[in-house]
Amino acid sequence: MRNILPGKLWIANARQVRDIRSVLAEGVTAIIDLAMEEPPIAFPRDILYARFPLLDGSGNERAVLNCSVLSLVELIQDERPTVVACSGGMSRSPIITAAALAQVNKISLESAVQQVTASGPHDLSPGLLSEVAMTFPDASYLASRPNLLVIRTSEPSRLVAFYEQLGLTFQEERHGSGPLHWSTTVEQFVFEIYPRTEGTVEKPTTSIGFNVVEVDNLLAGLTASGTDIVRQPESMEWGRQAIVRDPDGRTVILVQPEQFA
């Protein structure tokens, strides 16, 4: 089992959670079982055992999803030693655990997922993650969360100096054969200043980026609505990325971060 909160919260797979003696030896008093494809487990009668069968993907009943997360929230807040288990311990368990921690700690689902997955291997289902985000929007990893702003200017050094006076710190960057530019990051929001290409008129001169849960599904909807697709989804070092244009012709960069890929 993988400990998420010392002595209070674990993630386990089907084999681990069925080793009842080892589970009880950790002081566990509550089990959240999420594996639809596994048979129920017979724990001693004084152990709280709640089974919320979930699909490892989309198509889950909202009520079951809601109950699984909120039940775990209550157990965490009560500091009751709890194991969250699914078949492989790689997708449903970390996602539901992260959703509960996001509610308890009043943080984004993104931050909670990073906290949970940092402790070990994982293979998160984008479909289930998206359903959780829609079920708990106040603490979700929102598709409309901006993560990038790019400004192009004919005088980048003056613009950099201006924003540095506001307290920002820039560093020079170059991606492959692209132009030299200046970048700063504030709480995962990236602000970049690019030089405008000499002898050309680039309109508009601003681009904006968004983190999204499922870039392929989102792009399918945008395509159906007639959105101009600049670049189809492709894997980059920072995640899966696509580029579109808004109705004014502004470049919009959509990134599905690695942990959601």
Whether 40 has a pLDDT exceeding 50, the answer reads yes
Q: Are residues 17 and 82 in the same domain?
A: yes
Band (pLDDT 50/70/90 cuts) for residue 139 is very low
Hey, which residues does 153 pair with through a beta bridge?
195
Phi and psi at residue 9, to the nearest 5°: -150, 130
Residue 213: Cβ-neighbour burial (10 angstroms; 0-12, 13-18, 19+): buried
CATH number of residue 190's parent domain: 3.10.180.10
Q: Are residues 31 and 16 in the same domain?
A: yes
Q: Are residues 121 and 174 in the same domain?
A: no
Q: Are residues 189 and 92 in the same domain?
A: no
Cα 182 to chain centroid, rounded: 27
The reported pLDDT for the residue numbered 143 is: 42
User: Which one of 139, 165, 184 terminates a domain?
Assistant: 139
**CA 131 to CA 129: how far, in whole Å?**
5
**CA 25 to CA 209: how far, in whole Å?**
48
Whether 220 has a pLDDT exceeding 60, the answer reads yes
CA distances from 4 to 11, 173, 204 (A): 7, 36, 46
Q: Are residues 246 and 149 in the same domain?
A: yes
Identify the sign of the CA torsion 61, 67, 73, 76.
negative
Q: Are residues 157 and 54 in the same domain?
A: no
pTM (predicted TM-score): 0.58
Q: How many structural domains are present in the chain?
A: 2
Cα 168 to chain centroid, rounded: 26
User: pLDDT by residue (tens digit) across 167-184?
Assistant: 779 999 998 888 999 999
Q: Can you tell me which residue has the tokens 């030896």? A: 25
Whether 52 has a pLDDT exceeding 80, the answer reads yes
Q: Mean pLDDT across the chain, nearest whole number?
A: 86
Whether 252 has a pLDDT exceeding 50, the answer reads yes
User: Which one of 139, 161, 184 terminates a domain?
Assistant: 139
Structural domain span for residue 113: 2-139
The reported pLDDT for the residue numbered 198 is: 67
The reported pLDDT for the residue numbered 140 is: 43
**CA 141 to CA 104: how far, in whole Å?**
15
User: Residue 20's closest CA among 31, 9, 10, 11?
Assistant: 31
The reported pLDDT for the residue numbered 237 is: 81
Q: Are residues 190 and 126 in the same domain?
A: no
Q: What's the rounded mean pLDDT across residues 190-206? A: 74
Q: Can you tell me which residue has the tokens 């985000």? A: 133
